[in-house]
Structure formats: structure tokens, C-alpha cells
């Protein structure tokens, strides 16, 4: 009983922690100290034209509101004749008047659709429902102001962009130690493997190569300041045959030269095993909702969230994973990392142009690929 009472009090004092079904249920009897709001694409005339068009090159503002407040849910659905619209539409979020966004990612990648196509899955923070319904439940507090935009970087008009953004407005400032939500897109197309001259990944000279310091790893994110890493979604388009996921995850905390968190393999980090050999799966904190075979042209999408125990840092964090054992493979990686931190944040890498974000095969050599 004392534990339940403490949970209820914690949720009452700290907005942003009541984002699990158990916490939601436990907090229902507690009086709320916020006013619920929604920013929506609904038809202002009272008709049924509830979507917005986004012309090529145009930006649509989804939310522009003063704080203190907290976004608790985001829902999008899109109708477009552009087959690459999930890569062409770019989502950006700005907190408290900052000049550079704390979130910058193609819309599809933000919701785990890193290969530019739709599929249904459910996790605790992110889900895609029937049909093509994009949902995010990650809490996003702000003290003074929040602004969310979507920009169409493609050459085709987005016919219908529907959105609902639910947020709480508070009368009093939020606790000073609340951190700001961040999400960063990265890609390596292709990731540059150190060798083309291999037939099987366990052969001498490949399987016995050492990588202790993460040199050449694929980078999910780099941050400076105080914060904690909460997860990553990642998609892989294989340029080469055989299993892509023999790479270890490595986390470098507060300037470490060697990682204090070092994993045992890609499928292990995403909490599967043995190459996801039983096929696709999707659970609350981890999954591989898309699982291809082990051949060039194969596509896989995975996710892992650290909701039970985020990875903390006080000065900096560098989150990485190998592409193949000791980075011998040259597949295509697309990812979004999610974390919370104090502001200001470090500069994000420049978003690659649209033509480079669209998944395609590359001639990298190696098994199943011409040189």
C-alpha cells in the first residue's frame, strides 16, 4: 500500500512519469492539476475537411503554444501519392524558444518505419495501428513554449496530413529538474565495412578481429549535457548476404575511451536471440516487427527501449553499435535515437538530403554483391 501511495504521489508531483498502463490506472483516483488541450487538424468551419495539405517545400505548424505544459500523445495519419512520403516529410520539435530543434527526423523513422514503408506493431512508446495510424506516447514537457512542425522536402504534394497532439497545460512551473525530450535521425548508406574480401563472417581474419574502443561503429547518437538515453528504432537494408546482426552495442558514458556498457550481438541488444530465427515479434520494450532473410536486399526493422532503467549520463553520451563483427559488413542503417537531457543540446549532424534517405542497394562487394 505504501508503494502504491508513493507512486500516486510521484505522478502527482512529477508530470511525465505517468506513461505506463499501470501508472495510468494507479493515478486515476488522484485529482489532476492540469487543463487538457489538443492541437488538431480538424475542420475549423465545422465541416469534414479535417486534413491539411502540404505543398512541396512547405512547412506545416502542428503545435505552437506557451507553457508550462507537457505533450502526452501524438497521432498522425497521411494520404500522399508520393511513395517516399515517410522519408520526405520531416518532423521537428522546438522547446522553450530554442533556435535549433531538439527533434529532427523523417516522420516515418520517428515512428520506427525506417525503410519508408508501413507495417503495424505495438510498443509502449510507439505504435502503428490500422490503417497507417502513427502514435507516440513519449512524454514531452516544456516550461515556456513548444513548437512542432512538419516540412515536405519532396516534390509531390501531401494530399492529407491529419494530426492530433494531446497536451496538458499547467498553471505552475514544472519541476526544475525535468529534462527535455530529444530524438535524432542518423543513417549510414552504406556503412563502410573494413573489408570486402570475405565469404563467411567466422572465417580467419574476420571472426577473430578485435574491436574494443568502438572505432568505425555506427553511431545512434552523441549528446553533451546531463540526461538519459531511453531507446532506439533502427532499420537495415542488407547490401550483402548472411546475417547482418553480429555487431555489439557499445555505450560510452561521460567521455569514456572504452565502453562501460558493451553487448554481445545486435539481436541480443534488441532482446531477441539466434538471429531472430523464429521470425518477427513486437513487445512493449523490444521487437523486430520486420524480419527479412539473410540475403542482399533483405529488410529488417528493430527497436529497443530502456524504460525500466534509462542509460544515464552527466556530461556526455555516445551510443553506438557495430555493423557486423568488428564492423566488417557494409549494409544500410537508418535509425532514430530517443533521449532526455538538459538544454542546450549539442548540434545535430546535418539531415541528409531526401535522395540519400531513400533506401536502395549499393554495390559494396562481399557475399551476394558485385564489386
Over residues 31-90, the pLDDT tens digits come to 999 999 999 999 999 999 999 999 999 999 999 999 999 999 999 999 999 999 999 999
Three-state helix/strand/coil letters over 225-282: CCEEEEEEEEEEECCCCCCCCCCCEEEEECCCCCCCEECCCHHHHCCCCHHHCCCCEE
Q: What is the pLDDT of residue 18?
A: 46
What does 53-78 look like in DSSP terms, one character per residue? Answer: EE-TT-EEEEEEEESSEEEEEEEEEE
Q: For the chain, what is the mean pLDDT? A: 94
Q: Please check whether the two domains, 33-170 and 180-357, share a CATH topology.
A: yes
* DSSP β-ladder status, 133-136 and 126-129: antiparallel
pTM over the 0.75 mark: yes
Q: What percent of the chain has pLDDT over 70?
A: 95
- From CA 94, how far away is CA 142, in angstroms rounded? 9
C-alpha cell at 208: 577473430
pLDDT at 3 > cutoff 60: no
What are the structural domain ranges in the chain?
Answer: 1-31, 33-170, 180-357
Binned at pLDDT 50, 70 and 90, residue 22 comes out as: confident
What pLDDT, on a 0 to 100 scale, did the predictor assign at position 24? Answer: 85
Residue 20 has pLDDT above 80, yes or no: no
Residue in 186, 219, 221 with CA at minimum distance from that of residue 106: 186
Chain-centre distance for alpha carbon 79: 22
Maximum distance among all alpha carbons in the chain? 70
Please check the confidence at residue 117 and state whether its pLDDT lies above 80.
Answer: yes
Q: 346, exposed or middle or buried, with CB in 10 Å at 0-12, 13-18, 19+?
A: middle
Report whether pLDDT(10) > 60: no
Mean pLDDT of all residues in 206-214: 95
Query: Residue 8 has what pLDDT?
Result: 35
Give CA 204 to chain center in angstroms.
36
Across the strands, what pairs with 38? 166
For the segment(s) 180-357, the CATH number from 2.60.120.1390, 1.10.3720.10, 3.40.50.1000, 2.60.120.1140 is 2.60.120.1390
**What span, in angstroms and rounded, lies between the C-alpha atoms of 316 and 256?**
9
- Structure letter (DSSP) for residue 81: S
For the chain, the distance separating the N- and C-terminal CA atoms, rounded to the nearest angstrom, is 65
- Any idea which of 32-41, 196-205, 269-278, 348-357 has the lowest mean pLDDT? 196-205
Tell me whether the omega of the peptide bond preceding residue 131 falls within 30 degrees of 0, making it cis.
Answer: yes
pLDDT at 186 over 60: yes
Note the pLDDT tens digit of each residue in 296-334: 999 999 999 999 999 999 999 999 999 999 999 999 999
pLDDT top residue among 84 and 370: 84
* 19 confidence band (pLDDT: 50, 70, 90): low
Q: Is the pLDDT of residue 193 over 60?
A: yes
What mean pLDDT do residues 122-132 have? 97
Q: How high is the pLDDT of residue 21?
A: 79
Per-residue model confidence (pLDDT) at position 371: 61
pLDDT-based confidence at residue 6 (cuts at 50, 70, 90): very low
Q: What is the mean pLDDT of residues 270-279?
A: 97
Non-local (6+) Cβ contacts of 325 within 8 A are 201, 206, 207, 209, 246, 247
pLDDT number for residue 23? 84
| Angle, vertex CA 340, rays to CA 115 and CA 245, nearest 5 | 35
Tens digits of residue pLDDT in 330-368: 999 999 999 999 999 999 999 999 999 999 999 999 999
Q: pLDDT category, 172, cuts 50, 70, 90?
A: very high
Give the three-state DSSP class for 185.
strand
Task: pLDDT band for 121, please (50, 70, 90 cuts).
Answer: very high
Compute the average pLDDT of residues 258-266: 98
Whether the per-residue pLDDT at 4 is higher than 90: the answer is no
SS3 7: helix
Are β-strands 103-106 and 180-188 bridged in parallel, bridged antiparallel, or unpaired?
parallel
Taking the domain 33-170, which CATH number applies? 2.60.120.1390
Residue 215 DSSP SS3? coil
**CA proximity to 161, closest of 47, 46, 59:** 59
Please name the residues in contact with 259: beta carbons below 8 A apart, sequence gap of 6 or more. Answer: 214, 250, 251, 252, 320
Helix (H/G/I), strand (E/B), else coil: 108: helix
Q: Which residues pair with 188 in a beta bridge?
A: 333
pLDDT of 102: 98
Three cell numbers, residue 307: 524504460
User: Are 107 and 134 within 8 A, CB to CB?
Assistant: yes
Amino acid at each position: 500500500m505504501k508503494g502504491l501511495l508513493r507512486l500516486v504521489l510521484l505522478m502527482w508531483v512529477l508530470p511525465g512519469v505517468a506513461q505506463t498502463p499501470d501508472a495510468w490506472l494507479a493515478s486515476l483516483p488522484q485529482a489532476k492539476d492540469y487543463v487538457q488541450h489538443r492541437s488538431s487538424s480538424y475542420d475549423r468551419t465545422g465541416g469534414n475537411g479535417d486534413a491539411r495539405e502540404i505543398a512541396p517545400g512547405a512547412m506545416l505548424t502542428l503545435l505552437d503554444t506557451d507553457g508550462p505544459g507537457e505533450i502526452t500523445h501524438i497521432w498522425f495519419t497521411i494520404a500522399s501519392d508520393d511513395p517516399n512520403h515517410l522519408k520526405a516529410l520531416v518532423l521537428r520539435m522546438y522547446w522553450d524558444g530554442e533556435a535549433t530543434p531538439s527533434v529532427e527526423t523523417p516522420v516515418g523513422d520517428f515512428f520506427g518505419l525506417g525503410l519508408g514503408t508501413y507495417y503495424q506493431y505495438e510498443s509502449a512508446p510507439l505504435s502503428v495501428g490500422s490503417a497507417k495510424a502513427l502514435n507516440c506516447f513519449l512524454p514531452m514537457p516544456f516550461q515556456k513554449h513548444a513548437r512542432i512542425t512538419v516540412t515536405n522536402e519532396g516534390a509531390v504534394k501531401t494530399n492529407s496530413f491529419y494530426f492530433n497532439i494531446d497536451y496538458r497545460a499547467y498553471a505552475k512551473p514544472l519541476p526544475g529538474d525535468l529534462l527535455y525530450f530529444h530524438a535524432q535521425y542518423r543513417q549510414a548508406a552504406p556503412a563502410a565495412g573494413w573489408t570486402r574480401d570475405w565469404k563467411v563472417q567466422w572465417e580467419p581474419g574476420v571472426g577473430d578481429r578485435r574491436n574494443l574502443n568502438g572505432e568505425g561503429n555506427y553511431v545512434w547518437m552523441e549528446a553533451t549535457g546531463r540526461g538519459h538515453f531511453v531507446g532506439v528504432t533502427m532499420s537495415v537494408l542488407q547490401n550483402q548476404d548472411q546475417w547482418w546482426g553480429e555487431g555489439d552495442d557499445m555505450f560510452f558514458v561521460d567521455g569514456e575511451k572504452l565502453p562501460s556498457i558493451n553487448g554481445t550481438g545486435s539481436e541480443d541488444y534488441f532482446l531477441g536471440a539466434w538471429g531472430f530465427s523464429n521470425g518477427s515479434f513486437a513487445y512493449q520494450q523490444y521487437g523486430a516487427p520486420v524480419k527479412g532473410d539473410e540475403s542482399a536486399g533483405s529488410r529488417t526493422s528493430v527497436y529497443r527501449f530502456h524504460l525500466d532503467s534509462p542509460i544515464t549520463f552527466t556530461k556526455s553520451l555516445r551510443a553506438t553499435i557495430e555493423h557486423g563483427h568488428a564492423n566488417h559488413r557494409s549494409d544500410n542503417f537508418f535509425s532514430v535515437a530517443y533521449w532526455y537531457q538538459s538544454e542546450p543540446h549539442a548540434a545535430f549532424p546535418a539531415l541528409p538530403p531526401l535522395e540519400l534517405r531513400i533506401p536502395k542497394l549499393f554495390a559494396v562487394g562481399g557475399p551476394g554483391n558485385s564489386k
